[in-house]
Amino acid sequence: MKHESGMKTIETLFRSAGLGEVIPPVVPVPGGLLHRTYRVCTRDGCYAVKHLNPEIMKRPGVLPNYRRAEELEQILEDAGIPVVPALAVNGRKMQETDGAFFYIFRWHSGRVTDWNQISAEQCRRAGSVLGRIHALEPRAVRAEPAFSSVDWAGYTEEAVRQGSGIARVLKENEGLLTEAVDALNRARLALPDVECITDGDMDPKNVLWENGEPFVIDLECLSRGNPVSDALQLSLQWAGVTTCSLDPGKQTAFFDGYLEAWDNGFRDYGSVLGMAYTWTEWLEYNVRRTLGCCRDEAERETGAAEVFNTVRRIRHIRGQEALIRQTLERLPR
């Protein structure tokens, strides 16, 4: 949102929600890679307001996906999982004003941990929360895998045509990216037949810490999916893959907390190591943003930065595969 029109939209939103008059300034909250969040205060208190990305809201079937996530969020809240839920206003969590979609949250005083300062104990606590989520409604189910298919050469060609700065990194890594997608698809075939509530977005940037206690935020990605895939990917993110600084001890700590909270008996995580390459899906999304599927120039620049960051992560995972596999093989039997 542009500042002036965005301010008016948020003021309209708060009036219609009965939350009072907005006290300027409305302050952007840094850190979001998909949506934009603002700190908004009234005389009655402060709120976090998430403006959902309009490009995402144009996707077919997106509203049912958000409604499903809201239902699952309520299940987590009712079960005592430490989450920061969206407020329900007029019987709805998602709010629409002037054609824009929002979620409103009570402002939380917790803070995320710097990616380079995450402790093994925080990894253990995060793993425990994920295990508690997975333990809520597990069920045996055989799901047909959804395979990825990405035309990296086509994206490279378009990047060259546009004179985009991402053309070179795509060209230099075409082979690796193709192999990563193949590994991801093979891993999907090897996943066990189990489904539960999952939160693939529960990485360190989406966990607030207050007095040593974790609170999960940004629950729009709640879904029903495979817990083995969820646990493997999140263990790697908490262990440092996102910053290309993998610490096997932190991955072990994550699984210690996870398995203590819920143990479905699966141990052959090495057979599904290719699930670590779901980063290719995030990469494709950011390639598309860089090449024009975005709301403004700021988002295009974010997309380009994430292209370089994500290729670096995929290269890091490839270089650390043996170490990751060794760590997974040492999990308690």
In the three-class reduction of DSSP (H, G, I as helix; E, B as strand; rest coil), residue 53 is classed as coil
For residue 256, give both structure tokens.
């210690």
Which residues fall within 8 angstroms of residue 203, CB to CB, at 6 or more apart? 234, 237, 238, 242
Most confident of 7-21, 34-48, 160-174: 160-174
Q: With the CA atoms of 212, 218, 221 and 222 taken in that order, what torsion angle do they form, in degrees rounded to the nearest 10?
A: 50
**163 C-beta neighbours (distance < 10 Å), count:** 7
> Alpha helix (H) ranges present in 99-197?
120-134, 152-162, 167-172, 174-190
CA 95 to chain centre: 21
- What is the four-CA torsion angle of 319, 322, 324, 328, rounded to 10 degrees? 170
Bigger pLDDT: 56 vs 83: 83
State how far Cα 193 lies from the chain centre.
23
Domains parsed from the chain with CATH numbers: 3-106 (3.30.200.70), 115-329 (3.90.1200.10)
Residue 332's region, left for phi above 0, alpha for psi from -120 to 50, else beta, is beta
Nearest to 201, CA basis, from 118, 281, 144, 146: 281
Q: CA neighbours within 13 Å on the CB side: how many for 274?
A: 20
Rounded to an integer, what distance in angstroms lies between the CA atom of residue 285 and that of residue 306?
10
Q: The whole model's pTM is what?
A: 0.92
Beta bridge partners of 198: 223
Mean pLDDT computed over every residue of the chain: 93
28 bridge partner residues: 38
Distance from C-alpha of 106 to C-alpha of 121, rounded to nearest angstrom: 27
Lowest mean pLDDT among 12-21, 155-164, 317-326: 12-21
pLDDT band at 258 (very low <50, low <70, confident <90, very high): very high
CA-to-CA dists, residue 325 to 83, 124, 263, 275, 316, angstroms: 32, 19, 19, 12, 14
Task: Please tell me which residue, 33 or 185, carries the higher pLDDT value.
Answer: 185
Convert the pLDDT of each residue in 270-325 to its tens digit: 999 999 999 999 999 999 999 988 878 888 999 999 999 999 999 999 999 999 99
Between CA 306 and CA 282 the distance in angstroms is 9
CA distance 325 to 268: 10
Q: Which run of H or E residues covers position 29?
A: strand 23-29
In degrees and rounded to multiples of 5, residue 104 shows phi and psi of -120, 135
pLDDT at position 6 is 62
